Amino acid sequence: MDVAAARRRVLAFQRWMRKHGVVCSDALCLDASEAGGVYVRAVAALREGDVVATIPRRACLTPRTSGAAAAIEAAQLGGTLALAVAVMYERARGATSPWKYYLRLIPDREPVPLVWPRDEADRLLAGTELDKTVKQDREFLCEDWNECIEPLISSGELGVEPDDLSLEKYFAAKSLLSSRSFRIDRYHGSGMVPLADLFNHKTDGEHVHFTKSEESDSDEEDDDDQSNADSDQEEDDDDQSNASADEQPTVKSSTSKPSGEGHNDEDLEMIIVRDANTGEEVYNTYGTMGNAALLHRYGFTEPDNPYDIVNIDLTLVTKWCSSKYSHRYARERVSLWSKLGYSGCTGEDAADYFEISYDGEPQLELLILLYIVSLKPDAYDKLVSVAHDLIGDDDQDDEQDTVDSFAKVVGVTRPAKDSEPNGVEKLPDVKKVLHSESICSALAALADIRESLYGSNTLEDDKEQLQACSPVSERNRYHSLVLRMSERKILGRLRKHASSWSKTKKRKHV
C-alpha cells in the first residue's frame, strides 16, 4: 500500500473513531510512512500525565463484542483462540463489519516468522533461538485449528465461507494478536483496541502507556500488560497512523464513562509517561525483550538490543560431555548435578537450557555443571558419597541460595590445602572457583558447537550480507540476519570471557 492509499485509510479510520466514541488528542497526528505503514507523531508538546486518547470498551473487537459472540460461546472457545475467530469472522463480513475501517487500516497479517513460507523460515532461522520455537508454534496452531476451528466451520453456525476460517487465515489472525492485542479485563479478555495498537515500539524509549479503569479489574492489574502493536498497514481508506502499541499498562482511573454493554464500559486510556516534543514520533513499548522475542511476536528486530540472550541447551552440553568423555560419564555427572538441586531454565517443551547474557556471562548453573563435569575421579566419588547430605530442604530460589549450595560442594571437592573458611560465600568468590582452565575450555567448546548450528557462514559473512540487504524489500532476511548476528556476538563475548578468565588463572599460577 502506498503513502496516498494509507493516508486515505487513516482519514476513514479517524471518521470511524469519532462515530464510535474514540477520542484522540489534537496533539497527536496519525500519519503514513514512506513504506505505507502508519505511525503516531506529536504535533504539540506532550507532557507526562497527559491523557492523549480514550477508547470505549464497546469499540474494541473482542470475543464478546464480535458478531460471532454466540457461536464462540456455544463452541466454548476462550483466550486468543476465541479472539482469532472473532477477528477472522469480522474480516469475512467485509463492509458489513462494525470494525471495517479499523480492519482496513491494519495489515492482514504481521510479518512474524509464523507466517513466513515454511522453507524460508527454516532456512533463515536455522540455529537461532527461534528455529525450534516457530516449528512448535506451527504444530500447536495446526492442532488448535483441527480440534476447534474445523468443527466450527463444519457446523455452518457462522454463516461464512470455509476459506474465511482457513488454516492460513488462522495463522494470519494469530500474527495480529501476538503483536496487537491487549488485555482489557476479565469480561472481555484480550481484544483488539483500535488506535492503541498504532504506536510503534521503542525499547526503553516509550512515551505512552495503555491503561484501564482502576475499578474495572483491580485484581487483574498484573495482567494488564498483554498487548502490543506494531503497525504497518494494508488495506484501504484514509487519514492517519500506523505503528506499534504497548505492553505494560499503568492503571489510572478513567475520566469518562460512556454507556455500553458488558460488565464495565469505562473508557480505556493512553497516557503519556515520558515527555515528547513537537515533531517526535510517539512510541509505546512491548517491554524489555530481546530480538528473538521481538521478531517472534512483532516481526522486527533492533540492532544492539541490550536484552538479547543466547540459550545453550542441556542436551548440547551433554553431547559435548559425551564426545569428550563417554555417554556414561556425561549421564552420571549431569545426574549428580541435578540430584544436588541444580537445574537450568525450562522451556515450553520441558527441556532444560542455560542463558548466556548480552555481555557473554554464562548462567551460574551452567558453570556449576561444568565444575562437576571437570572433577577428578576421587573428588567426584567423594561428592557422590555425601550428595544426600548436601541436598537442602528448600529449592534454590535465588542466586544466593545457589552460591550457598555450591560453597558446600566446594568444601567437599577441593583439596584441604586449598580450602579456606568462608572462601566461597559470595558470588565473586564462587566465580573465581568456576573460572578454572578446564571450565573455560569447556565454555569455548560449547560456544563453538552452539555457533555451528548457524551453518558454514561466519559472522563476517553475515555482516556483509546485512549491509547488502534491504530492510523493506528483504524484510525477513534482514531481521533474521540481525537476530543471528546478535546471537553470534554474544557467543563471541562468551569466548572472550572464557579466554580472559583462563589467562588470569594462568598468571596467578606463575
Res 253: pLDDT: 30
Average pLDDT score over residue span 441-464: 96
Q: Which three cell numbers stand for residue 70?
A: 454466540
User: In this model, does residue 75 exceed pLDDT 90?
Assistant: yes
The one-letter amino acid code at 506 reads K
pLDDT of residue 160 exceeding 80: yes
User: What does the pLDDT look like over 393-427, one tens digit per residue?
Assistant: 555 567 788 888 888 898 898 865 554 444 555 66
Query: What CA–CA distance (Å, rounded) separates 124 from 117?
Result: 11
Query: Would you tell me how many other CB atoms lie within 10 Å of the CB of residue 360?
Result: 19
pLDDT of 177-210, one tens digit each?
Answer: 999 999 999 999 999 999 999 999 888 889 999 8
Alpha-carbon distance 489 to 504, whole Å?
22
pLDDT at 220 over 70: no
User: Is the predicted pLDDT of residue 346 greater than 80, yes or no?
Assistant: yes
pLDDT tens-digit series, residues 291-312: 999 999 999 999 999 999 999 9
pLDDT at residue number 427: 63
Cell of 76: 466454548
E strands present in 38-147: 38-42, 51-55
Vertex 294, ends 289 and 299: CA angle to 5°?
Answer: 170
Q: Find out whether 92 and 86 touch, Cβ atoms under 8 Å.
A: no
State pLDDT tens for residues 486-499: 999 999 999 999 98
* pLDDT exceeds 60 at position 217: no
pLDDT at 230: 36
pLDDT of residue 318: 97
What is the spatial distance between Cα 67 and Cα 59, in angstroms, rounded to a whole number? 13
What is the length of the chain?
510
pLDDT (0 to 100) of residue 147:
95
Confidence (pLDDT) at 348: 76
The predicted model scores a pTM of: 0.84
